[in-house]
Amino acid sequence: MAYSINPNLPKARAIAMQLLIVEQLPLQVVANRCGVHRSTIWRWKHKWDALNEYIQRDNPNRPSRTVGVSKLARCKWNIATEPSRPHASPMAVSDSIVERVLEVRSLLKRCAEVVWYHLVHIDRIVVSLSSVRRILRRHHCFDGARKQRVRPDNPRRPHVAEPGELIETDTIHYICPYTKTRRYVYTVIDVYTRMAYAEIHPRILPGLAARVVLHARNEFGFDFTMVQADNGLEFSSYFEQTLQKQAMPTRHTRLGRPNDNAHIERFNRTIQEECLGSTITYKTTTTHLQVKLNNYLEYYNYKRVHLGLQMRTPAEMLQRS
């Protein structure tokens, strides 16, 4: 059967088989109607027989009776186009080399370059680097495989129905364009009420990140059931241990998936657009920025309506619960 990318060929073969089997037209007549040679129709017939091998189409008790329509209705008619990929290649890597590549990979636990160097210079096996990479990829031994997006001990994200069931936290990094000094804004938001809290500090530490979360709990006035953060250094094991002592389990977002922390990411953008701006220079002190943050958070939590809350403020959502 010749290879073709025409998507209508399986249907055309089905029509030819129906002319040959259902209408019982002669082979040459079917070939003339379909515009192919009669040997092609004959090959299609063999394909059709193999496709319906386990469907009984005759009546052993009455061989002279014609095949019924009900039995033909159970048959498959569309004959798919076979792929053009060859079954074997003279340039294929031998099975012994493939086994040796996998053995070296399992032994060294290194990347494809190291495996290839070991095979060529130590085992004296003639194989290319691209072939080694292809073998590892086919056997799911990925070269330079990235880390898992989800930690195995990561708790499940809760279904938020009350205040404090899920708290998101993040950090905004500011670099002075003149002195290159850094300042960090630690932000916290409650997913249910959208109550927000923020502090600015000159250093980025897990202890500071945990302390900001505890200050936010005191400011909001309700307990936190779970705290969610990204995989930054400020949310490492010490951050988790500090909150665990306060009965606050933590979970982390997937690697490379900032949408998992969508609420706090959107708040970070809002606070930069409406309060702090895109840059902070050395001319503005940290104390002045904290006062500015406090005034804005008062407006954000009690006066600013949110589209995501059906034009309510976070304080109204807190009173509603």
Q: pLDDT exceeding 70 applies to what percent of the chain?
A: 91
Mean pLDDT rounded to a whole number for the chain? 88
Three state DSSP letters for 88-146: CCCCCCCHHHHHHHHHHHHHHCCCHHHHHHHHHHCCCCCCCHHHHHHHHHHCCCCCCCC
What is the phi/psi pair of residue 16, to 5°? Answer: -65, -40
Name the 3-class secondary structure at 68.
coil
What digits encode the pLDDT tens for the residues 123-171?
A: 999 999 999 999 998 888 865 555 566 677 788 888 998 999 999 999 9
Please state which CATH class domain 167-320 belongs to.
alpha beta
Residue 202: predicted pLDDT: 94
Residue predicted with more confidence, 61 or 234: 234
Residue 66: predicted pLDDT: 57
Cα angle at 226 between 223 and 231, to 5 degrees? 135
Q: Which sequence spans correspond to the domains of the chain?
A: 9-73, 95-138, 167-320
Whether the pLDDT of residue 7 is over 70: the answer is yes
Strand locations in the chain (E): 167-175, 182-190, 196-201, 227-229, 250-252
Residue 257: predicted pLDDT: 86
Whether the pLDDT of residue 65 is over 80: the answer is no
Residue 1: predicted pLDDT: 46
Residue predicted with more confidence, 254 or 59: 254
The answer to whether 215 and 169 have CB atoms below 8 angstroms apart is no
Pairing between strand 250-252 and 182-190? Answer: unpaired
Cα 316 from chain centroid (whole Å) = 36
276-300 mean pLDDT: 93
Which strands sit side by side in the sheet containing 182-190, from one edge to the other? Answer: 196-201, 182-190, 167-175, 227-229, 250-252
